[in-house]
Amino acid sequence: MRQELHTVSLFTPLEIDQGRIRISVISRTTLDDGITPDERIKEGITHHEWIKDFAPPPKLIGSFKRGEILWKEYQEKYLEFLTALGQKEKVQKFAQRCRQEKITLACVEEKPDFCHRRLLAQELQRYESELIIVHK
């Protein structure tokens, strides 16, 4: 059975998901300083669940945001992270969940082009080929 896996910006209203479970895959719920809570991000308002296991490692996202590495390197390192021992099993198990439930992956980026949620969705699809990725 084919199942759609959606991706969306965390700041898009939940209503767009129409009964889907929106899962935040961000690394932290703070502003760029890493300390101050981002008041825009609230469970039940911007997402239903938070799975931090799929967030990019803090050093990786920091290197990219500071311009120390380009997207290509960021992408390669994030995919290495997803396929590392221990992490790979979590991704495979979550891919199975995505086949059984209506899931939307959410992150703070407005568009999926330069966002790890797109990379995660593609990796999930690699394990469950019946998943159809829909970027909203």
Q: Please write the tens of the pLDDT for every residue from 78-91.
A: 999 999 999 999 99
- pLDDT, mean over the chain: 93
Q: Give the per-residue pLDDT at 87.
A: 96
Q: Please write the tens of the pLDDT for every residue from 32-42.
A: 777 788 888 98
Give mean pLDDT, residues 4-23.
94
Kind and range of the H or E run holding 5: strand 3-9
Q: How far apart are alpha carbons 16 and 7 in whole angstroms?
A: 11
Domain ranges of the chain: 3-135
Q: Please write the tens of the pLDDT for every residue from 47-65.
A: 999 999 999 998 998 899 8
DSSP label of 2: -
pTM: 0.93
For residues 16, 21, 26, 32, the Cα torsion angle rounded to the nearest 10 degrees is 50
Pairing of strands 103-107, 3-9: parallel
